[in-house]
Amino acid sequence: EIGIQIAIDGPAAAGKSTIAKITANKLGYTYIDTGAMYRALTYKALKEHIDVYDDEALSQLLSRIVIELSPAEEGQIVRVEGEDVTEAIRSQEVTSNVSAVAAQPQVREMMVEKQRLLANSKGVVMDGRDIGTAVLPNAELKIYMTASVEERAARRFVENTKRGIDRSMEQLCQDIANRDKADMERIASPLKQADDAIFIDTTSMSIEQVADTIIQHAEKRK
């Protein structure tokens, strides 16, 4: 058994990575967080004072740095040029600049190529915004996960508290709405549900319920 490809897309803070990690663990698959790759590039760009709207400069940066994703107990460790940036890429500064970086066409083209290589020839759960529509159009299972903005902000609030990030519910709703708008309205592969994706509204579902639903669909497609 080689395993299937599972694509999980949806708006910011919908719980995609939490669910993708659980699903990958249960199936013994590799989990790949593509958002972390855009965040890692954004982190490096900010550090090097590169304009987050400059596609040319960003793609040059991307071609000379190494972004590594390695599996860990708590999901995934992210390294850029050997530096562990797992926590740093979740900062407010990275979060508010990542959608500008991710809107750049050349950057996307390069990222998609890297992501396809990572997904090559094995059971994989990949989460992002364009996995079902652009990265893995032939994935056996595609999920489009969402929840109300208020519910997503509330979940992010709990997560931030654990991380020591201080941001009000009102600010979080605004951050999430801004990021959704940027991701859905960009020209290069915007966030949208693939025609053949299964839609799951997780607003009033538990993590367990969502994970079980996806596993059931995956079992049918193996």
Annotated binding site for ATP: 10-18
Question: Bridge-partner residues for 142, per DSSP?
Answer: 7
Could you tell me the CA-to-CA distances from 19 to 104, 184, 208 in Å, in that order?
A: 28, 22, 8
- Interaction of residue 38 with ligand C5P, rule CB under 6 A: yes
Length of the chain: 222
Q: Where are the alpha helices (DSSP H) in the chain?
A: 16-27, 34-47, 55-64, 92-102, 105-118, 149-163, 169-185, 207-221
By CB under 6 A, tell whether 35 contacts ligand C5P. Answer: yes
- Binding range to ligand C5P, per CB under 6 A, among 34-42, 43-51, 60-68, 166-174: 34-42
Closest to 163 measured CA to CA, from 66, 95, 67: 95
Under the criterion CB under 6 A, does residue 175 sit at the interface with ligand C5P?
no
155 forms part of the interface with ligand C5P (CB under 6 A): no
Residue 162 vs 220, nearer CB to ligand C5P: 162
Please select the residue that binds ligand C5P; options are 7, 31, 104, 129, rule is CB under 6 A: 129
Question: Is residue 183 within the footprint of ligand C5P (CB under 6 A)?
Answer: yes
Closest to ligand C5P by CB, 12 or 153: 12
Annotated binding site: 10-18
Q: Is 85 helix (H, G, I), strand (E, B) or coil?
A: coil
Q: Can you tell me the distance from the alpha carbon of 161 to that of 155, in angstroms, rounded to the nearest whole number?
A: 10
Any contact of residue 76 with ligand C5P (CB under 6 A)?
A: no
Q: Is 15 in the site for ligand C5P (CB under 6 A)?
A: no
Stretch that binds ligand C5P, among 24-32, 33-41, 62-70, 161-169 (CB under 6 A): 33-41
The angle subtended at Cα 76 by Cα 73 and Cα 80, nearest 5°, is 140
Per CB under 6 A, 176 contacts ligand C5P:
no
Q: Binding of ligand C5P at residue 12 (CB under 6 A)?
A: yes
